[in-house]
Amino acid sequence: MSEKKLPELLAPAGTPKALRAAIEAGADAVYFGGPSFHARMRAENFTADTMRESIALCHAFGVRAYITLNTLLTDRELPAFLEAAAMARNAGADALIVADLGGAAAIHRAMPDMELHASTQASGHSIHAARELAALGFSRMVLAREASAENMRTFVKDCGMETEVFVHGALCVSHSGQCLFSSLVGGRSGNRGECAQPCRLPDKSGRYPLSLKDLSLARHVPTLLQMGVHSLKIEGRLKSPEYVRDVVRIWRRLLDERRAATDAEMKELAAIFSRGGFTDAYFTDHVGQDMLGVRSEENKEQSRATAPFTELTRRVPLTMRFAMKKDTPLSLTVTRGEKTVTVTGDIPFVANTAPLSEEAVKEKLTRLGGTPYVAESLSVTMDGGLMVPISKLNALRRAALDALDANGRAVIDIPRYVPTKQEGLRPQTPTARFEDAREIPTEAKNYFEHIYLPLDRYAPAADGVVLPAVIFDSERERVASMLKNAAKQGAKHALVGNVGHLSLAREAGLIPHGDFRLNVTNSESLSFLLSLGFADVLLSPELTLPQIRDLKGHADAIVYGRVPLMTLEKCAGKEVGSCAACQRGENALVDRRDEKFPVLQLYPHRSIVVNSRPTYMADKRRELAVAGITGGHFIFTVETASEVKRVISDYQNGTPPKGSVRRI
């Protein structure tokens, strides 16, 4: 039986120099950001010119180039986003990595031939998510880093598209695409490429309860090969060229030799960059406290000792054939791998004195300095007694290389963005979610049109359920059973925060409503989700009131409550308290400013960290109305029934806030 094809080794590049380091080390593909709309805005990144030059360099070495356009978008940014996508396409990008569902819809409509990869920020963690994303034109999905080997194997087998998995580099402690901490607390949106990394900071006691070690699956290479994963991705667009070169070099060796890393190679990887070692806990399904880690002085010293990367030394071999015949245009054929091009030049003339020699031809045509090429061979066929100026040979060589580097894709005009038409009214009456049915007073049942409870705590006091933020394929059957039981008890509605969960609500006979975790920030995303069957959608808490106003149609906003900031696969409750305290809602992360962020339990044993300050808009009803919000969604987490009554009264009376709050 023949061996399976090796997966693609995908390397990061935050700078053109890092891109060259990736090529030097043997990457099969490179991903990097252009001038805008990507999730690493703090990297040096690429201008329009360096992006085009770098893509051509990649292609010269047979390396694929993926451009990241993976930030959330507002309506007013969609025209510029579509322009950026077209620019990347015309520059020769092999694929675009996109997170925003609306942005993907706009690209697919304007450029249906453009290959799209669903970014990890799209929060894909299940087969059903892949199937919904395929409708937007995605042909590859970056699987959530939190997936176990069991779930990864199932996904690769049944998802129906290419699978890309992170195998090395930094880990977000929050499920990708589900972190609002930096945005809502610090004003720097991780979904907009500006994450301030609050998870890397110590808490009040000096501990680091959210800082994870870097991921490395280098010991699991044979398993990954057996699964048939299409692409193995290294994280690190903020890392140095030296990091990129050395990590890619080791992974290249492991893949080529189809083996796991040795102890010595793991130490070598740790010396390149480490936070006290590596973790593979998600992959092995052994999530625990030993995942935590921070950069030590020893780690930093090891990284500083790395030999500097100077420049790309690899060259691409070319096979060349030159012909000069009487009364026939000059001809030069160049072959690189499987690609062959032929260009023609002037017609030679009879030499009066010194005809052109074969040695002169070879010297001029093999002069490839400043290019990634080297002439492996050059065959020359010449009639005697002929001559052309040397400048014509140089022009012929340049024309051949230009033809070789051409991406073969027809350049398109920058498409004009045509806004999606929005129809329908926003929800007119308020809705709410609670953590505990015992804290739902009678006043809430009279005030809210729909009341939701977490699926695992559903009780008939509510008419809806909140689906878990994460449902891996191995958990789907159990969740489906719980949904059917909730429906039997009277549940009629479901708050759904992931496109992969929509079919679960449908199968249980529940009316699906889009949760804020869908990250809707523009009309394109809203239209796509409504077309899937959502009755309405809660907008992203990152939107301002003017941005909310721009979105018409069936959409509502969170107007009260502690917005969930992080969804953690790793239980944070154990770091700051106990399981019993977590179940009672008594655990909290306390930062250095003494702000307390409650930690709540999420089915089956995950954690949610909610904001220290509630969003409060009771005294801003006029501003909400101008933005089109007359209903509004309320989130009750740690409030008692009496506090819920007071909040309802405050919103009925327009009462100003009495403590520290967050405003939209």
Domain ranges of the chain: 8-172+214-262, 316-405, 431-563+611-653
Give the contacts of 651 (CB within 8 A, at least 6 positions apart). 430, 559, 560, 618
Residue 178's pLDDT is 85
**Topology classification of domain 8-172+214-262:** TIM Barrel (3.20.20)
Query: Is the peptide bond between 389 and the residue preceding it cis, with omega within 30 degrees of 0?
Result: no
Q: In angstroms, rounded to a whole number, what is the distance separating the alpha carbons of residues 255 and 234? A: 13
Nearest 5°: CA angle at 224, between 221 and 230?
Answer: 120
The DSSP letter of residue 17 is: H
Task: Centre a 10 Å sphere on the Cβ of residue 476 and count the other Cβ atoms it contains.
Answer: 18
Residue 355's pLDDT is 93
Residue 159's pLDDT is 96
H helix intervals, 408-455: 442-447
Residue 426's pLDDT is 85
Residue 286's pLDDT is 94
Residue 515: left if φ>0, alpha if ψ -120 to 50, beta else—which one?
beta
pLDDT along the chain (664 residues), means of 10: 82 96 98 83 78 95 96 94 95 96 95 96 95 95 97 97 98 89 92 90 93 97 98 96 98 98 98 96 94 94 93 96 96 95 96 92 94 96 94 96 87 86 83 97 97 97 97 98 98 98 98 97 95 96 95 93 95 78 81 94 91 98 94 97 98 96 97
**Topology classification of domain 431-563+611-653:** TIM Barrel (3.20.20)
In this structure, the strands spanning 511-514 and 493-496 are parallel
3-state secondary structure 520-534: CCCHHHHHHHHHHCC
Closest to 606 (Cα-Cα) out of 570, 581, 579: 570
Task: Tell me the torsion sign for CA atoms 405, 409, 410, 412.
Answer: negative
Q: In angstroms, rounded to a whole number, what is the distance separating the alpha carbons of residues 559 and 563? A: 10
CA distances from 388 to 199, 341, 621 (A): 67, 22, 82
Q: In angstroms, rounded to a whole number, what is the distance separating the alpha carbons of residues 628 and 534? A: 19
Neighbouring-strand partners of residue 339: 336
Crossing angle (nearest 10°) for helices 263-272 and 297-304:
90
Residue 345's pLDDT is 96
Residue 336: left if φ>0, alpha if ψ -120 to 50, beta else—which one?
beta
